[in-house]
Amino acid sequence: MNRSLILYKYRSFGEYADKIILNSELYFASHTSFNDPFDCNLEFEEDGDFNKHCETLNKTEKSLLGEKTIEDYKKDLKRNLIIEKSKVGILSMSTNNKNILMWSHYADNHKGLCFGFKNDFYKESGITMSKVIYSEDDRYELIPYLGCEIEDIKRMFTLKSRYWEYEEEFRLLDLKNSYGLKRFNNKYLKEILFGCKADETNIKKIIQLCQLNGFKHVIFKKARIVPGKFELDFDELDKNKYL
């Protein structure tokens, strides 16, 4: 992967954006909070392989089922998979800092901001980074109940409908330590971009917070509309004017 790649997190101004700077933390969410009902919810395959597995259980394994039926066993297995999946922490990022829809949907209608991180900013935390794959059509391969390989697990979290392709998404996955706030090293935050409709008061606050909390190296830019095009570009700001 290109080490110079920058990953972007779109945000609105406010308490949560401030805390990214104040605490050097980003929030890894559970997929249960996502707005796409298909996201991380690929269906499991039908019962063929599962039933074959149950037929091969030895006497000891069958005795452990107790009063449970094979159907109960199947439900328990699926329930456990769903529970474990919900614990995985996911940080969604984008490689595109000029996407008009992203600024509209995730940065308060272009009044918000966007944090740009070097792509390996969690490399020392055992966190996996994967590019999101978008389906070529409206179909996907079902996830097996049993014998689930690492690629199957990764696919559960990184395969999305082609309708989301405009997001150009990468995902950071914490498969071991669950969701929640996770610290990052300050040096990996490279730039902060402000929306074309961002308020000067909010811009000043963020720049000053960075100066006071170990982010003096960060570059600041403000989006502007390109005349004659449905396109954004950025102008670098002189932070000294805000200090």
SS (H, E, C) 34-65: CCCCCCCCCCECCCHHHHHHHHCCCHHHHHHC
pLDDT value at residue 70: 63
> Is the predicted pLDDT of residue 6 greater than 60, yes or no?
yes
Strands 159-160 and 133-134, by their bridges, are parallel
pLDDT top residue among 53 and 182: 182
Task: Give residue limits of the domains in the chain.
Answer: 6-40+89-143+150-242, 48-85
> Is the predicted pLDDT of residue 57 greater than 70, yes or no?
no
Secondary structure class of 79 (helix, strand, coil)? helix
pLDDT tens-digit map of 68-123: 666 676 677 777 777 778 888 999 999 999 999 999 999 999 999 999 999 877 77
Task: Mention every residue, 6+ apart, whose C-beta is less than 8 A from residue 138.
Answer: 161, 162
pLDDT value at residue 142: 85
pLDDT top residue among 60 and 101: 101
pTM of the model: 0.85
Q: Taking the mean position of all CA atoms in its chain, how far away is CA 136?
A: 21
> Is the predicted pLDDT of residue 33 greater than 80, yes or no?
yes
* CA torsion angle 231 6 107 85 (round to 10): 130
pLDDT tens-digit map of 155-177: 889 999 999 999 999 999 988 87
pLDDT tens-digit map of 179-192: 899 999 999 999 99
pLDDT top residue among 25 and 50: 25
Out of 148-162, 213-227, 228-242, pick the least confident: 148-162
Calpha distance 91→182 (Å, rounded): 10
Instruction: Tell whether the torsion through CA atoms of 238, 113, 199 and 212 is positive or negative.
Output: negative
Task: Mention every residue, 6+ apart, whose C-beta is less than 8 A from residue 174.
Answer: 28, 88, 89, 90, 125, 126, 127, 128, 182
